[in-house]
Amino acid sequence: MDFASIRMITDDLEPVVQFYEQVTGVPAVRPAPVFAELRLPSCTLAFGHAQTAQLFKNAARPSDNHTVIIEFQVDDVDKEYERLKTLVSEWVLEPTTMPWGNRSMLFRDPDGNLVNLFAPITEEAIERFEAGNSPGQEDQHLSVEPSQVHDRA
């Protein structure tokens, strides 16, 4: 099995697609007027208009995500923060170094989905990523108390 994509359902396709094109610097492929994809090296970020949810018996609802964080690894979080300051309207966390060695910033996309841009910056974090561990794999071994995480995280 191979992880292929994450698809977001939205009522307003164009602003969401344009937002992610600007965040990632990747142009969207639009195989249909109600569907678009950003094909990144690690996976595809897909977007479907709410009309497409009917094909899945409306199992997905637009602007209703409160459990998933869409994460992108970047080279320099602070540089990305400066670049995206005017694009992002809702910041959740300005650039902050996390207890596990990643520098992260979190914001919401136009539909309210939570987005994290991060970069490993400590020696241990860099070694984890160079060893090929994904963020999910590294987190399996963490024991972080809530008091250790910045109060806005």
DSSP character string of 34-70: TEEEEE-SS-EEEEEEGGGGGGGTT-S-TT---S-EE
Q: Decide which of 36, 60, 84 is a domain's last residue.
A: 60
Which band of pLDDT confidence, cut at 50, 70 and 90, is reported for residue 133?
A: low
**pTM given for the model:** 0.79
* Dihedral sign, Cα of residue 134, residue 95, residue 26, residue 44: positive
At 133, list the tokens: 């561990």
* Closest listed residue to residue 43, CA positions, set 73, 9, 68, 19: 73
pLDDT in tens, 56-106: 888 888 888 888 899 999 999 999 999 999 999 999 999 999 999 999 999
My answer on whether 12 and 85 are in the same domain is no
Domain that holds residue 150: 65-153
Amino acid at 21: E
In the block, which residue shows the tokens 């070694």? 127
Same domain? 5 vs 21:
yes
102 vs 149: CA distance, rounded Å: 12
Q: Of all helices (H) and strands (E), which one includes residue 94?
A: strand 90-97
Q: Are residues 47 and 75 in the same domain?
A: no
Tally Cβ neighbours within 10 Å of residue 131: 9
* Count of the separate structural domains present in the chain: 2
Is 16 exposed, middle or buried (CB count within 10 Å of its CB: 0-12, 13-18, 19+)? Answer: buried
Do 101 and 124 form a contact (C-beta atoms < 8 A)?
yes
Q: Which of 60, 80, 100 is the last residue of a domain?
A: 60
Q: Give the pLDDT of residue 36.
A: 97
The CATH number that applies at residue 53 is 3.10.180.10
